[in-house]
Structure 1
Amino acid sequence: MTPAPRLAPLPPQQWDESARNMLRGKVKLADRYLSGAPDAPRMPNILGILGHHAELGGAWLAYNGVLLERSALDPRHRELLILRVARLSGSTYEWAQHARLGAGCGLTEEQIEAVAVGPGAPVWSPLERLLLTAVDELLDRQRVGDDTWAGLARHLDTRQLIEVLFVAGSYLCLALVFNSVDLELDPEMERETVPAQPDTEERP
């Protein structure tokens, strides 16, 4: 039997008006999620968590919208960064969500599986290897190393370099929330997309 989460997503019928207004304008299906209609789509669990703190939830969705919808980074590279964060932080929810999004942005099944191996996997281009290494260094040492930074700067402009840092940091923050509230997977998420822990893992 799966234990109950520490903090359950707030059901749409319990959202007050400030929480409802927080969602509107930031999530395309907001009104349908909140409608209570028999055919309404199920609200994703992450939105249900944000519903507990409307002011914070609204600010987060607006900020994260820049990273997801107006990104300077190639979306495929952004999803690669997020998947590595999810893998290193052990965030099942974040991994399941972004394995699907990454595939939609062009990451192959082989590449998604190779995220668990890390930058040493043979499937990566030089830039992809640097992006994965940057995540490893940020989570291990809280700083991108000099060699990695110089390598990234040969491929990316200043806005993209800043986004590498913000994507890794932002999705580590989300992973910490997901892990700490024991956020359950949404029904449409596949558990088998979560990578098993390899016996060895290439780390810089």
Structure 2
Amino acid sequence: MTTSAVPRLAPLPVLEWDENTRAVFRGHLKSADRYLSAAPDAPAMPGILGILAHHTELAGAWLAYNGLLIERPSVDPRDRELVILRVAWRSGSEYEWHQHVRIARGLGLTEEQVEAVRYGPQAPRWSPVQRSLLTMADQLLDRHRVDDHTWAQLELHFDNRQLIELLFVAGSYLCLAMVLNSVALQPDPDREERS
């Protein structure tokens, strides 16, 4: 996975955000005040938020939508992260990969599981449900649909609401990967993973 050495679009620095942009982020991110405080010990704004700040209306809609997938999921967050990691790996999105490796580890995925995501559903370490999730992600990326066999396997473990959510997770993170790759957003320095 390689990202262009020169970003095409730099994250908009917090000091350049107008009040409307700040209000949108405060309305959708629990942690917004930490980033926007300008305090000496304030954490650095994640690059993705600085990219979204270039389009305030879109940022508000995206943060509301993505907040549902991340903060109020109907599926186990570890299952969600497997799907996101597979999409990030297959799409070559370094930023998305690094961010979600950190999240996945925080949810209890092991180093071995994170590494196995790179090899997909054929890696021997997966349970049947994990294998089905990774197969679903690959099929969506390759054919833009889930085949009947994989769908039947997923139905053994997930209800209709969860199935719809999983499809939206894969599609949403592919969309985000395309944006991140196109603007050549670099991984956040304090969150980079060794690969």
Scaled by the length of structure 1, what TM-score is found? Answer: 0.91
Q: Which residue of 2 aligns with 1:60?
A: 62
1:71 aligned partner, one-letter code: P
Superposition map of 1:96-115 within 5 A: 96-115=98-117
Q: Partners in 2 of 1:143 and 1:165 — Cα distance?
A: 9
Q: Partners in 1 of 2:40 and 2:108 — Cα distance?
A: 35
The structure 1 segments of at least 4 consecutive aligned residues displaced by more than 6 Å after TM superposition are none
Q: Partners in 1 of 2:169 and 2:32 — Cα distance?
A: 24
Residue-by-residue CA offset, 1:42-70 (whole Å, 9 max, x unaligned): 10000000100011001100110110011
Q: 2:82 aligns with which of 80, 83, 95?
A: 80
Scaled by the length of structure 2, what TM-score is found? Answer: 0.95
Residue-by-residue CA offset, 1:79-112 (whole Å, 9 max, x unaligned): 0000000010000000000011111112111010
Tell me whether 9-18 or 26-35 shows the greater mean CA deviation.
26-35
Where structure 1 has 5 or more consecutive residues not aligned to the other structure, the ranges are 194-204
Where structure 2 has 5 or more consecutive residues not aligned to the other structure, the ranges are none
Q: Secondary structure at the match of 2:187?
A: coil
Q: Secondary structure at the match of 1:119?
A: helix
Q: Partners in 2 of 1:181 and 1:58 — Cα distance?
A: 19
Deviation, 1:38, is 2.0
Q: Which residue of 1 aligns with 2:146?
A: 144
Superposition map of 1:20-169 within 5 A: 20-169=22-171
Q: 2:181 aligns with which of 168, 174, 179?
A: 179
Q: Secondary structure at the match of 2:57?
A: helix
Give the helix-richer structure, 1 or 2. Answer: 2
Q: Secondary structure at the match of 1:107?
A: coil
Q: Partners in 2 of 1:29 and 1:146 — Cα distance?
A: 41
Q: Partners in 2 of 1:161 and 1:142 — Cα distance?
A: 15
Deviation, 1:41, is 1.4
Higher relative contact order (CA 8 A, sep 6+): 2
Deviation, 1:18, is 1.1
Q: Partners in 1 of 2:165 and 2:120 — Cα distance?
A: 20
Residue-by-residue CA offset, 1:1-58 (whole Å, 9 max, x unaligned): x743100000001001111111003112212312222222110000000100011001
Q: Partners in 1 of 2:39 and 2:97 — Cα distance?
A: 30
Tell me whether 2-11 or 119-128 shows the greater mean CA deviation.
2-11
Paired residues, what number?
A: 192
